[in-house]
A and B are shown apart, each in its own frame.
Chain A
Amino acid sequence: MTKFLSLLQDGLALGAVYALVALGFVVIYRATGVINFAQGGLVVFGAFLVYQVQFTWKWLGGGGTWPGWIVSALFAMVCVALVGAAFEALVLRRMIGQPIFAIILITIGLFLLVEPITTTIWHNPPGGLQTPFGLSTITVSDVKILQVNIATVVLGAIVLGVFFLLFQYTKIGIAMRATAVDQEAALAQGISVRRVFALSWAIAGAVAVVAGMMLAAGAGPAPGLSVNLGLIALRAFPAIILGGLDSPGGAVVGGLTIGVAQVMTGGYIVPEVPVLGAEFADVVPYLIMLGILLVRPYGLFGTREVRRV
């Protein structure tokens, strides 16, 4: 039981990160109909910007203090949101109406571009980012719970909560939903579809920063700060397939499921069957994805595509 609970906290933290990345995919997909392969790149870029503020500039005492930590996060979120919106406005907007392969490939190009840029600007990063709680733990009846993991889940819940409030109750949220349903009808109602597109990219960027900084601070099975965070973000793909490409709620359910399943596999199945090797846990999300697609091709909560002749 102790083992189960300690794995569960890792899994939920990883799942919260997946849910955040998946939410970024879903927001952009709903608004623009494009799968943004660069989401992983935004995660990496955000994490390194946080590092810049915490370690190089040391604003308000660096990331070890509460004000320093919050300000580093906010700064990186604003920057990456601007980068996302600028990329949409300057590059992707010219591609509206062009073949979908070309658009997908452009986002892949952005993804490829992030790695050389980050390794060039930030060579020799430290092992991980700072947080006010460091690696301290809380012990609840024999189970040591990393405070970082709790913070990740709480932070994920806050970000998702804010997003849902924005999406359901504000004017701009309604505009985003209207655009997702029908772009032309939204335009006719006086909604600026352009602004919705840019805003979707900005939201995806800001959410990606939260995912990146928590991953690099040691949430889940800690990978540390490196460009490989982008590959971890690619594992959020199974989460959106599980939940459905166009369902924000599905992104959360899918992310948590995939995260817990991955960590549980690493904790229970891999030690029992050593032939599989430690990498097996990393491919489990993709295996789940294949299984789900055979049963429900549009995910658990995705809209079934209506096709006309």
Chain B
Amino acid sequence: MARANRAMVRSYADDLRLFPTWTKRVGLLVLAALYLLVPLYIDDLWGSVLALAGVTAIGALGLNLLTGYTGQPSLGHAAFIGLGAFVAGYYGGGRFADGVGYDFPLFVYILIAAVAGGAVGFLIGLPALRLRGNYLVIVTVGLVFLALYLWKKWTTFTGGNQGSPMPIKAELSIGVWSIDFLKPTVFGKELGPKQGLLYLAWGLVAVVALLIKNIARTRPGRALQAVRDRDIAAEVVGVSLFRYKVSAFVISSGIAAVAGTLYGLYLGYLTPNEESLGLVLSIQFLAIIVVGGIGTIYGSILGAILIGALPRIIDEFADSFPFVTDDPAKAGFTKGALSTAIYAVLIIVFLVLEPRGLAGIWRRIQAYFKRWPFSY
């Protein structure tokens, strides 16, 4: 009897396997090697682009749990990013020099951010239980503006309009081994803060991706997806809407706040205003998961690399376009305007051509090779 293809799912245990095929296991090894080696050789520009992509990937994975797996759209992510960043400033020693806050190590302030984000997420999740779809989108838009107002006024916590400096060190020690992610020494080589953040951010991406994958492939994940597909039917078969909707909010907000602390470390200094923590940041996260592919983990990560890095790449190369000027009084695009315009056009064109995102493209490629040489 011919052996079945290894990728074929024959039992429930097969379905649960994280890395069912050899290609996936080899791919994982390649990724791990890249993770260790890339920061050693990357320059500052691309290092910071990739570090930012990693930070946004963490936030996007959290949003994907809420929006992609549980079907609760949210444009409120910027509020939680802000919360996490200011927790880092207050508890991580960023404002310690001004005599404000605490000087906790990395591990502690990330934990504080996660707990604070989860607690606020719980408070938001309760009223959100009564809302669905479009109403929820609008309410979370309001959340962004309320949070921004709070950041501007809550001077003790955020520094108010002057903003808050971020921690200057992010030290993690396990036993005798310790590393400061803002000034790391890896294999005897001293690296800059951007390269160090690459290790921190992408390490956390792996942890968060594994967490979400584990939630998604087990009982709670099936409950969340049942809520997404038809919430009343889910309730009828015994899924507690209260429990799963609210926990999706809690986990997603906690992860967003963790992403926020890294965002703070990446920026170095955070002033609360429309540009740094406004609606556009929330839009970016929603754009990432939709462009990447809703309800897929690799989609969120690929989307974050594409969209998170896009404005930065456009900024970097805007000078080579002839119609770009730096003088706002003259005719022609300014750099910022060009960046926003390209970003907006790309989102529109991409979604019109491929509404299921990068994941949709990937599935088509996979299907093509699986059936090769037949076309269907």
Q: Which residues of chain A from 109 to 150 have any CB-CB distance to chain B below 8 Å in the complex?
A: 109-110, 112-113, 115-117, 119-120, 123-124
Once bound together, how far apart are the Cα atoms of A287 and B356, in whole Å? 35
Give the residue of A99, A276, A280 whose beta carbon is less than 8 angstroms from that of B294.
A99
Give the residue of A35, A102, A282 whose beta carbon is less than 8 angstroms from that of B351.
A102
Residues of A with C-beta under 8 A to B334? 119-120
- Does B329 reach chain A (CB closer than 8 Å)? yes
> Shortest distance in angstroms between A44's beta carbon and chain B's nearest beta carbon?
13
Residues of A with C-beta under 8 A to B67? 101
Nearest B residue to A107 via CB reads B348
Please determine whether A297 and B347 come into contact, CB atoms closer than 8 angstroms.
Answer: no
Report the interface size class on chain B. Answer: 35 or more
Please determine whether A309 and B135 come into contact, CB atoms closer than 8 angstroms.
Answer: no
- Does B26 reach chain A (CB closer than 8 Å)? no
- Does B242 reach chain A (CB closer than 8 Å)? no
Nearest A residue to B278 via CB reads A231
Once bound together, how far apart are the Cα atoms of A307 and B355, in whole Å? 26
Residues of B with C-beta under 8 A to A241? 135, 138-139
* Known contacts A115-B340, A237-B141, A297-B130: A106-B329 contact under CB 8 Å: no
Please determine whether A110 and B134 come into contact, CB atoms closer than 8 angstroms.
Answer: no
- Does B3 reach chain A (CB closer than 8 Å)? no
Residues of B with C-beta under 8 A to A305? 132
- Which secondary structure characterizes the binding site on chain A? helix
- Does B149 reach chain A (CB closer than 8 Å)? yes
- Does A29 reach chain B (CB closer than 8 Å)? yes
> Shortest distance in angstroms between A160's beta carbon and chain B's nearest beta carbon?
22
Residues of A with C-beta under 8 A to B131? 293, 297
* Known contacts A95-B355, A279-B152, A286-B145: A105-B290 contact under CB 8 Å: yes
* Known contacts A123-B329, A309-B230: A109-B347 contact under CB 8 Å: yes
Please determine whether B331 and A99 come into contact, CB atoms closer than 8 angstroms.
Answer: no
- Does B52 reach chain A (CB closer than 8 Å)? no
What 0/1 readout, one digit per residue, does chain A (291-309) give for beta carbons within 8 Å of chain B? 0011001100000010111
Please determine whether B138 and A109 come into contact, CB atoms closer than 8 angstroms.
Answer: no
Residues of B with C-beta under 8 A to A290? 127, 139, 142, 146
Please determine whether A113 and B142 come into contact, CB atoms closer than 8 angstroms.
Answer: no
Please determine whether A283 and B145 come into contact, CB atoms closer than 8 angstroms.
Answer: yes
> Shortest distance in angstroms between A109's beta carbon and chain B's nearest beta carbon?
4
* Known contacts A29-B134, A234-B141, A279-B149: A116-B328 contact under CB 8 Å: no
* Known contacts A234-B141, A290-B142: A105-B341 contact under CB 8 Å: no
Could you say which of B7-15, B162-170, B181-189, B280-288 contacts chain A?
B280-288
Once bound together, how far apart are the Cα atoms of A293 and B143, in whole Å? 13
Please determine whether A101 and B152 come into contact, CB atoms closer than 8 angstroms.
Answer: no
Please determine whether B331 and A294 come into contact, CB atoms closer than 8 angstroms.
Answer: no
Please determine whether A35 and B138 come into contact, CB atoms closer than 8 angstroms.
Answer: yes
Nearest A residue to B356 via CB reads A99
Residues of A at under 8 Å CB distance from B? 29, 35, 91, 94-95, 98-102, 104-106, 108-110, 112-113, 115-117, 119-120, 123-124, 231, 234, 237-238, 240-241, 245, 275-277, 279-280, 282-283, 285-287, 289-290, 293-294, 297-298, 305, 307-309
3 shortest interchain CB distances as A-B pairs = A116-B337, A286-B142, A112-B344
Residues of B at under 8 Å CB distance from A? 67, 73, 127, 130-135, 137-139, 141-143, 145-146, 149, 152-153, 230-233, 236, 274, 279-280, 283, 286-287, 289-290, 294, 328-334, 336-338, 340-341, 343-345, 347-348, 351-352, 355-356
**11 A-B residue contacts at CB 8 Å?**
A95-B355, A99-B355, A108-B347, A113-B348, A116-B336, A116-B344, A119-B328, A234-B279, A282-B149, A283-B146, A283-B149
